[in-house]
């Protein structure tokens, strides 16, 4: 029973959906309530990264449009950093890693169980 609870709560599609909802809340917080470019960038890239790979049924698959959007977000932040206008490359890379990595880790752990 204990293992079933963890397996169900760590389902990759559920974790990705939770990350998407948390990213939306984070963006609202960091853009409107407590303005922070780092937090806003982190939230948006986490949202796109979590939506990039779909874990619905069977084998996971990536959505090509989201790949381009995430790459564009990271490149815009890199360009902003290079041009000295306040790019948040660290937040973009961290958000991408969280959004892509956490659901994938849950998928790999669930695959072994």
Q: What would the pLDDT profile of 66-80 be if each residue is shown by its tens digit?
A: 999 999 999 999 999
- Residue 73 to residue 4: CA distance in whole angstroms: 37
**DSSP conformation letters of 48-88:** HHHHHEE-SSSS-EE-HHHHHHHHHHHHHHHHHHHHTS---
pLDDT for residue 113:
65
What pLDDT sits at residue 15?
Answer: 94
How far apart CA 25 and CA 28 sit, in angstroms, is 5
pLDDT tens-digit readout, 45-62: 999 999 999 987 778 999
- Tokens 């977000």 locate to 73
Residue range 11-38: average pLDDT?
96
| Domain range summary for the chain, segments of one domain joined by + | 2-112
| pTM of the full structure | 0.89
Q: What pairs with residue 61 in β-bridges?
A: 54
């Amino acid at each position: 029973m204990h293992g079933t609870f963890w397996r169900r709560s760590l389902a990759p599609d559920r974790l990705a959906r939770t990350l998407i909802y948390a990213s939306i809340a984070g963006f609202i917080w960091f853009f409107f309530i407590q303005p922070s470019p780092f937090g806003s960038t982190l939230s948006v890239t986490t949202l796109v990264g979590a939506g990039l790979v779909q874990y619905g049924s069977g084998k996971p698959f990536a959505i090509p449009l989201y790949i381009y959007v995430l790459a564009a977000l990271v490149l815009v932040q890199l360009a902003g950093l290079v041009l000295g206008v306040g790019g948040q490359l660290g937040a973009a890379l961290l958000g991408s890693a969280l959004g892509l990595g956490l659901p994938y880790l849950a998928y790999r752990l669930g695959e072994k169980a």
